[in-house]
């Protein structure tokens, strides 16, 4: 029996509420649905980051989530740019065997000050240390972005080799922070899972005095670079 108008409206509401993305096996199953065959290609996001998901959703780029589990440790002597390139590629490579012909997007973001890579803080003391380093000065935010080829808009199969990851760099300036401000911010819990121990889109926005480059890069994903890579790969994402 064909679905009634009420059924269709209910489904549209559900999609609007969750952005339409799926996770895990549901994401892969959804790729074989007839309805997807007439839609723009859906990326596989190799990340569980809610911030990256929000950025893609806001840009109207359809995606599903298959989080990659990779070791994000910095190798001895590894430069920041090489580090984010390597991890972005590693995340794609970890998920690609499960993605079929879907294009896979991987990204890794770090904060860099005095050539030191600041990832996610290990604990409260590490967050305090990072914020002291950032206080009253500029730093760099680097995100490596990798995109494996999927079947393009004409249905051609993906290339066997993954293109080399690219890197977006943004300069961010922080106001000088008092010890009281640092203690307050760390106590908020916001720094816990953020590279450099801050979220530019959150409470830390009050500390940021200047941004030179991509704002979305500082949040965790340079959306314009993602779109450029999709266009270069011949992927229809909107």
DSSP 145: E
* Residue 153 token pair: 């808009």
The set of residues, in sequence order, having a beta carbon less than 8 Å from that of 96 and lying 6+ positions away, is 104, 148, 162
> b/e map of 112-132 (b: 16 or more CB within 10 Å)?
bbeeebbbbbeeeebbbbbbe
* Residue 43 token pair: 């990326």
* Residue 142 token pair: 């680097």
- Exposed, middle or buried by CB within 10 Å (0-12, 13-18, 19+), for 44? buried
Rounded to 10 degrees, the C-alpha dihedral 58/49/42/83 comes to 110
Which one from 36, 69, 93, 108 is the annotated catalytic residue?
108
Q: For residue 217, give the 3-state DSSP assignment.
A: helix
The set of residues, in sequence order, having a beta carbon less than 8 Å from that of 123 and lying 6+ positions away, is none
Is 152 among the catalytic positions? Answer: no
- CA–CA dist 197, 219 (Å, integer): 12
- Catalytic site residues? 108
């Amino acid at each position: 029996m064909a679905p009634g108008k009420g059924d269709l409206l209910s489904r549209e509401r559900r999609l609007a509420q969750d952005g339409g993305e799926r996770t895990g096996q549901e994401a892969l199953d959804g790729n074989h649905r007839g309805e997807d065959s007439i839609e723009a290609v859906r990326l596989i996001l190799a990340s569980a980051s809610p911030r990256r998901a929000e950025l893609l959703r806001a840009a109207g780029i359809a995606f599903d989530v298959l989080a990659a589990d990779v070791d994000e440790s910095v190798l001895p002597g590894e430069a920041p740019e090489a580090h984010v390139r390597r991890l972005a590629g590693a995340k794609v490579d970890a998920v690609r065997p499960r993605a079929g012909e879907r294009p896979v997007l991987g990204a890794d973001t770090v904060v860099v000050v005095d050539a030191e890579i600041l990832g996610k803080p290990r604990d409260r003391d590490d967050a305090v240390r990072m914020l002291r380093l950032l206080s009253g000065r500029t730093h760099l935010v680097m995100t490596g972005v990798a995109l494996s080829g999927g079947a393009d808009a004409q249905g051609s199969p993906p290339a066997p080799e993954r293109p080399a990851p690219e890197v977006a760099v943004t300069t961010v300036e922080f106001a000088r922070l008092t010890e009281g401000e640092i203690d307050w911010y760390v106590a908020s819990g916001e720094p816990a899972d953020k590279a450099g121990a801050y979220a530019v889109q959150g409470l830390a926005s009050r500390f940021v005095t200047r941004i030179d480059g991509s704002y979305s890069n500082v949040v965790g994903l340079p959306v314009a670079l993602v779109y450029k890579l999709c266009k270069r790969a011949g992927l229809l994402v909107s």
